[in-house]
Amino acid sequence: MTLYSKKAATMKSLAVYWSALRGTVHPDDEATFAKIPEHGFDLSFPPPAFIGDVENAPIIILDNNGGYDPTMTPGEFRAEGAADGFRGNLERSSVVDPRAPWVSPYYLQRNFTKWLTTGEAALVNGVAYRSVSGREKSVARLTKVLPSAAFHRRWLIETVLPSVDRGERFLIVHRWSRWGEVAATLRGRTGTIHSNAPISKDLTQEEVSAGVEFLSRRMR
């Protein structure tokens, strides 16, 4: 039995879904945050739902959620128009431009940064919003009920997994706790690799090697 629906072709893309973002909270999530005001997320800035050309990148890296740094995060949005530029990248599903002022230094200092800037990989967070502390119980609680997080899980199942099964994409399940039960079902699945160091900011050497091998096969 497959995890994904035969109606996957009708699944809305992540870029189309997040094109509805006008401020810092997706319209689908507004009621949930209103009901649970003590949620552990900083909602001052547009959320990093994903980064990179998620519609076309052959490698998808799964991460948990954006982090909040009281110095770094505001700095990403200091330039005029930065928030609009950030939202525009979500709407267009763009290859990462390291010169863009709203691209977090966090993503430019990783051992997979080159993949993001060449379009070979995109990173998708299980929860779009920036947690002040991922250890807060409220963050885990919101993970289960936020509509946008549920959409990300459905997108993974109905859009990414079929392409992985066809050998068109490779899935790196790096930080996986925010992806719920679906992450456990991916362990050992062909076309995926599950991290044995899911708290690391960088990919493990095993993950990098698997990604390099997949890209090499695509070029043959």
* Domain residue extents for the chain: 18-219
**pLDDT tens by residue, 127-155:** 999 998 756 677 888 889 999 999 999 99
**pLDDT tens by residue, 62-110:** 999 988 889 989 999 999 999 999 999 999 889 999 999 999 999 999 9
Structure tokens at 42: 């900083």
The structure's pTM equals: 0.93
With a pLDDT cut of 70, the percent of the chain lying above it is 94
CA distance 29 to 128: 11
For position 134, what pLDDT does the model report?
57
Positive or negative: CA dihedral 201, 214, 196, 152: positive
Per-residue confidence band for 9, with pLDDT thresholds at 50, 70 and 90: very low
Task: Give the end-to-end CA distance of the chain in Å, rounded to a whole number.
Answer: 32
Q: Which residue has the tokens 């995890």?
A: 3
Whether pLDDT at 4 is above 60: no
